[in-house]
Amino acid sequence: MKIGILGAGSWGTALAKLLNGNGHEVTVWSIDAEEIVMLNEYHEHRSKLPGVMLAGDVRFTTDVQIVVEGADMLVMVVPSPFVRSTAKTIAPYVAQGQLIVNASKGIEESTLMLLDEVIKSEVPQAKVGVISGPSHAEEVGLSMPTTVVAGSKDEEVAKHIQDTFMNDFFRVYTSTDVLGIELGAALKNVIALAAGMADGAGCGDNTKAALITRGIAEIARLGVKMGGKPDTFSGLSGIGDLIVTCESKHSRNRRAGFLIGQGKTYHEAMDEVQMVVEGVYSAKAALALAKKYEAEMPIVEVVNKVLFEDLKIDEAIKLLLTREKTAEVHG
């Protein structure tokens, strides 16, 4: 197949290697001309994914038309704040029924739309699917065993994505619950910020386990009210992605949270991480969705207060621990 990858960051680079290794013809686009010069010269993303070498037949370009026209599949891998602008840029070149697979994670703050909805709104002639799960680029780039889920409301499209990405180290499951997949992918970044904040403040494993467990309860609570399937949140794009993002040394959201837990502002933390921290962009949207659907999400509320209202970490912990007493499971 001919595959165009939109976004040349660490995840886009890792997926380029994966898909090229699966025998596909891969072209990678970036809006950053210097990034494309580096990739063409070294076939390695030296700043974001050092040590992962791409084959000589992987192509790189700043010309979006070259990537889109004639591609059997497009893979969206730009940071969430740029999904709409990228979709708008490619729209004139996308053919009727052309497949776009969203591999980005987040919620659009201004509209509260999930990213597959953003793409569909700008490129209505396209088919849109998703791929998500616990899959840090640093490990996929080194062919470490990984499992993810491919989603589409059309089961045959989900199976097509599965066939395209799957190999002997990258196992892909299918699902028709696109909303659940997308929501879990976005909200786990907000909970990972909380986990990082706790680490930075010197809390222990008990605290991390509590945040992961109660975090997935919050995500599922909102997700089911929005129409997602409960099983999705106990799967790869739910608890699976949440665990890896809260625990991994590769997690930029956990790293940013750690720095905030040590007293830095979110601006200072993002500057130090030097990559887009999706949880910061999704936190306000998550809180707005919680209010819209009347879903109780105390961790999300507290993360917003720490990020945007200067709530101190020790005060945030106290707020969570001294909430009104309740049962763990209702109904």
CA separation for the pair 160, 295 (Å, rounded): 35
Torsion of CA 109, 111, 116, 117, to 10 degrees: 180
CA-only gyration radius of the chain, Å? 19
Instruction: Tally Cβ neighbours within 10 Å of residue 299.
Output: 23
* CB neighbour burial string for 24-49, b if at least 16 within 10 angstroms, e if fewer: bebbbbbbeeebbebbeeebbbeebb
CA separation for the pair 17, 5 (Å, rounded): 11
- Residues serving a catalytic function are 188
Kindly list the distances between the CA atom of residue 261 and the CA atoms of 74, 182, 206, 243, 309, in Å, as whole numbers in the listed order. Answer: 38, 27, 17, 19, 14
CA 245 to chain centroid, in Å, comes to 10
CA separation for the pair 291, 106 (Å, rounded): 18
